[in-house]
Chain A
């Protein structure tokens, strides 16, 4: 009987030692856990932490709305100069997908004035339609004469050429236009001096959808 009581006492003491070890292990793990600070905040002030994350999410939604406010509300034009495509879009909807010609990227130096150089790139960036011309005439710049191997005329009237830009031209600054072309077989290629050329049907569609102030994004 004494033997049995002795064994029970030993069992209880062993279990007590184990329980104490478990408690100590738990406390040790808790003490040295890297996120104890965060944990204590979550545990002691869970509603505040939740609202903090919720607040951040609400702030995110508000910022998204603020950003979306800068997106064009009406029709806008996107030109992909790498693939020679022009899109007229409204929100996510594509109203026109047209093949165009954009800048060739080549360089022309003035033979007598080394400081004058032309780089025939279509400008990239965000613009807007600044002018809308019907049956436009082309006022040939200096490079057009140099390219043809001709003298640059002193008389401005000699620069005017009609019937080659199509029915409409949409200016977007610095002498660059979206216009029609006689060279429709070159559509889809980088062959222009920086302007964006379209065929007649697509030019009419652009005329119908775009107006002065229509955003134009070129990349």
Chain B
């Protein structure tokens, strides 16, 4: 009887160790694969950024892994906007180089001859905190404030997002970025027409 129990215990231990070994090795392999993919992505992003840095222009770098939107020129970080959260279609982040088709709309005051054109200027506080950036190749970037602090803006943003997706038959990729209203306004202020937008990992783990 004692022998039987011993062999049963031995068998169970062997089964447990075997399964653990396979699981651990798999986890290590997954980690290594993930790391390699991350470095590969970062290298692809860097290769694109080098091309952008060679030209006299400012560009955006959206790195959701770091949780930042960077305004850059000549490879130098000029301005940093913290990203509160993000979401993409099927949680698959679109990685690559895009181009902004248009700036977010803003109401510019018009002056008449004889009036001081600088009397009613626009500033960053006049910029929207909730808007869409249409990029080429087709990618819709929705910029929204956090729901808990700005429920009305958040709902409006979600409705606009839903409408845009419905119009495009839901086939186009999309990316939703949640930024504080100040950061969202600052981003709307800083972007320019045809501005290059690079999306992807900028640093390696």
By a beta-carbon cutoff of 8 Å, the part of chain A in contact with chain B is 7-8, 10-12, 14-15, 18-19, 21-23, 25-26, 29-30, 33-35, 38-39, 42-43, 49, 52-53, 56-57, 59-60, 63-64, 66-68, 70-72, 76, 78, 80-83, 104-109, 111, 118-120, 124-128, 143, 146-149, 189-193, 215, 217-219
B3 beta carbon closer than 8 Å to chain A? yes
Which residues of the other chain, B, contact A219 by a CB distance below 8 angstroms? 58, 71, 73, 78-79, 190
Which residues of the other chain, B, contact A111 by a CB distance below 8 angstroms? 112-113
User: Contact at B43–A60, with CB atoms within 8 Å?
Assistant: yes
A2 to B57, CA, bound (A): 93
Interface centre among B22, B28, B79, B109 (most CB of A within 10 A): B22
Which residues of the other chain, B, contact A7 by a CB distance below 8 angstroms? 1, 4
By a beta-carbon cutoff of 8 Å, the part of chain B in contact with chain A is 1, 3-4, 6-8, 10-12, 14-15, 18-19, 21-23, 25-26, 28-30, 32-33, 35-36, 39-40, 42-43, 46-47, 49-50, 53-58, 71, 73-76, 78-79, 106, 108-118, 120-124, 186, 189-190, 192, 204
Q: Could you list some 21 contacts between A and B, CB below 8 A?
A: A14-B7, A19-B10, A23-B14, A29-B18, A29-B22, A34-B26, A39-B25, A42-B29, A52-B36, A53-B36, A60-B43, A63-B47, A63-B50, A71-B76, A107-B108, A107-B110, A108-B117, A147-B115, A147-B116, A190-B122, A218-B58
A59 to B41, CA, bound (A): 12
User: Contact at A38–B29, with CB atoms within 8 Å?
Assistant: yes
Which residues of the other chain, B, contact A43 by a CB distance below 8 angstroms? 25
User: Contact at A56–B43, with CB atoms within 8 Å?
Assistant: yes
Picked from B14, B57, B110, the residue with its CB within 8 Å of the CB of A19 is B14
User: Contact at B39–A147, with CB atoms within 8 Å?
Assistant: no
Which residues of the other chain, A, contact B3 by a CB distance below 8 angstroms? 8, 11-12
User: Contact at B108–A18, with CB atoms within 8 Å?
Assistant: no
User: Contact at B192–A22, with CB atoms within 8 Å?
Assistant: no
User: Contact at A72–B108, with CB atoms within 8 Å?
Assistant: no
A17 to B7, CA, bound (A): 10
User: Contact at A26–B18, with CB atoms within 8 Å?
Assistant: yes
Residue on A nearest B193 in the bound complex, by CB? A124
Which residues of the other chain, B, contact A49 by a CB distance below 8 angstroms? 32
Residue on B nearest A64 in the bound complex, by CB? B46
Residue on A nearest B127 in the bound complex, by CB? A82
Which residues of the other chain, B, contact A106 by a CB distance below 8 angstroms? 108-111, 117-118, 120-122
Picked from A35, A67, A82, the residue with its CB within 8 Å of the CB of B190 is A82
A106 to B15, CA, bound (A): 76
Which residues of the other chain, A, contact B7 by a CB distance below 8 angstroms? 11-12, 14-15, 18
User: Contact at A119–B108, with CB atoms within 8 Å?
Assistant: yes
User: Contact at B8–A127, with CB atoms within 8 Å?
Assistant: no
Closest-CB distance, B140 to chain A (whole angstroms) = 23
